[in-house]
């Protein structure tokens, strides 16, 4: 038998970081570091992606209804297809659970899975069930396609392109902050009734995100092909840095241009002076909005698109990714999204 030899050296995963880890593990393979794998060579390219959600890390059963969890697991995978300018077609779902979960609990989970599939006209074509000793692990494989001439990668952004994003940013993280606050209060006093009034938007943003296939469709209708695209899963800063790194460019975005919902601002003001709405947008994550760049010639089309915001522009190779404040201070962006080690 082959011997285990991996105890000779020990490097902590946290020391390397998630992106460098994936680069290291997939060196020399066909992995491109995009949101999906691109398969085939014809006029329509196949897209494939896997997303895994782990109980206690990616979701907390204390405040995550199973129906929402099922919906979210599918939505997050579909968002990766949208992030390549593609259309999702099928999903396969693998669910690993301990015997703590009942059949009725799984019914609820699958009700959410079916709901999201129906909402986005996607077929649940297969899957797998497995056991765990504790907790739940959800894996969703999403398959889709895109015309070869509309395929959009993270690389492709070039100097003077406009930087755009959809929806608003930071609201999913604001929802998480509310849920965590209520959880702490509940744990201190189980008779306490959670007070979620007035936070329905941010809560829904966190618990039931929507993949922006509508933006993909709107871009198609307007004849706009972005030069680069990704989704905002770990915060705007993380997504911008990925896009700039892949494209070999820098960028400049304007703080006052970042779309932030008033509920996000309200949550932040309740949380104290150290929690700024712009921090939620830059580093909160889980918004699953689209971040993309377009050529200047498409300015007129993009400006008219509902739910799309032009937040800055692409700068030349060698420049950093920065945010300019209303006071005209330039801040270099660093990735600080949800830890995923």
Site for a copy of itself in 10-39 (CB under 8 A): 10-16, 18, 21-22, 24-26, 28-32, 36-39
Q: Tell me whether residue 9 or residue 190 sits nearer to a copy of itself (CB atom).
A: 9
What the block records as the tokens of 333 is 């962006």
215 close to 308: Cβ distance less than 8 angstroms = yes
- C-beta of 269: minimal distance to a copy of itself in Å? 22
- 57's CB contacts (< 8 A; 6+ apart) are none
Q: Is 87 in the site for a copy of itself (CB under 8 A)?
A: no
Q: What is the distance between the alpha carbons of residues 265 and 171, in angstroms, rounded to a whole number? A: 9
- C-beta of 169: minimal distance to a copy of itself in Å? 22
- C-beta of 87: minimal distance to a copy of itself in Å? 14
Which residues ranging from 199 to 258 are in contact with a copy of itself (CB under 8 A)? 200, 203, 207
Stretch that binds a copy of itself, among 128-136, 213-221, 300-308, 322-330 (CB under 8 A): 128-136
- Comparing CA positions, the residue from 47, 46, 63, 43 lying closest to residue 55 is 63
Q: Is 134 in the site for a copy of itself (CB under 8 A)?
A: yes
Residue whose pair of structure tokens reads 């997504």 in the numeric block: 239
Q: Is 317 in the site for a copy of itself (CB under 8 A)?
A: no
User: Half-sphere exposure of residue 316, counting CA atoms within 13 Å on the CB side?
Assistant: 0
Q: Is 143 in the site for a copy of itself (CB under 8 A)?
A: yes
- 247's CB contacts (< 8 A; 6+ apart) are 154, 155, 156, 157, 158, 228, 293, 314
- When binding is defined by CB under 8 A, the residue of 41, 104, 190, 297 that contacts a copy of itself is 104
Q: What is the distance between the alpha carbons of residues 262 and 274, in angstroms, rounded to a whole number? A: 17
- C-beta of 295: minimal distance to a copy of itself in Å? 28
Binding mask 44-63 for a copy of itself (x = CB under 8 A): --x-xxxxxxx-xxx-----
- When binding is defined by CB under 8 A, the residue of 23, 128, 195, 256 that contacts a copy of itself is 128
Stretch that binds a copy of itself, among 130-138, 151-159, 231-239, 273-281 (CB under 8 A): 130-138
- 216's CB contacts (< 8 A; 6+ apart) are 82, 85, 86, 87, 290
Q: Tell me whether residue 97 or residue 249 sits nearer to a copy of itself (CB atom).
A: 97
Q: With both helix axes pointing from N to C terminus, report the angle between 171-188 and 200-207 in degrees, rounded to the nearest 10.
A: 100
Q: Is 115 in the site for a copy of itself (CB under 8 A)?
A: no
- Comparing CA positions, the residue from 252, 254, 276 lying closest to residue 325 is 254
């Amino acid at each position: 038998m082959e011997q285990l030899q991996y105890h000779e050296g020990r490097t902590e995963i946290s020391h390397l970081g998630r992106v460098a880890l994936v680069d290291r593990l997939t060196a020399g393979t066909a992995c491109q570091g995009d949101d999906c794998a691109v398969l085939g060579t014809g006029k329509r390219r196949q897209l494939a992606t896997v997303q895994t959600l782990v109980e206690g890390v990616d979701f907390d059963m204390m405040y995550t209804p199973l129906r929402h969890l099922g919906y979210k697991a599918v939505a997050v995978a579909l968002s990766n297809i949208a992030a390549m300018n593609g259309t999702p077609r099928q999903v396969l779902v693998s669910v690993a659970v301990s015997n703590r979960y009942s059949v009725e609990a799984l019914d609820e989970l699958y009700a959410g899975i079916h709901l999201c599939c129906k909402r986005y006209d996607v077929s649940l074509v297969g899957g797998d069930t497995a056991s765990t000793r504790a907790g739940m692990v959800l894996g969703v494989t999403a398959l889709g396609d895109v015309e070869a001439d509309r395929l959009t990668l993270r690389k492709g952004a070039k100097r003077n392109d406009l930087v755009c994003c959809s929806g608003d940013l930071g609201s999913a993280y604001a929802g998480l902050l509310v849920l965590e606050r209520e959880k702490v209060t509940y744990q201190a006093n189980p008779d306490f009734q959670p007070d979620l009034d007035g936070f329905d938007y941010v809560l829904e943003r966190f618990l039931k995100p929507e993949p922006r296939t509508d933006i993909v469709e709107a871009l198609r209708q307007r004849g706009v092909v972005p030069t680069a695209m990704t989704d905002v899963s770990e915060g705007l800063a993380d997504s911008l840095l990925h896009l700039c790194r892949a494209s070999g460019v820098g960028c400049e975005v304007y703080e006052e241009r970042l779309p932030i919902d008033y509920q996000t601002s309200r949550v932040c003001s309740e949380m104290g002076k150290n929690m700024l709405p712009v921090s939620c947008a830059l580093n909160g994550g889980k918004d699953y909005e689209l971040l993309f760049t377009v050529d200047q010639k498409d300015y007129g089309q993009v400006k008219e698109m509902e739910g799309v915001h032009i937040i800055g522009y692409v700068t030349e190779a060698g420049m950093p990714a920065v945010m300019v404040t209303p006071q005209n201070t330039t801040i270099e962006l660093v990735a600080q999204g949800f830890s995923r080690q």
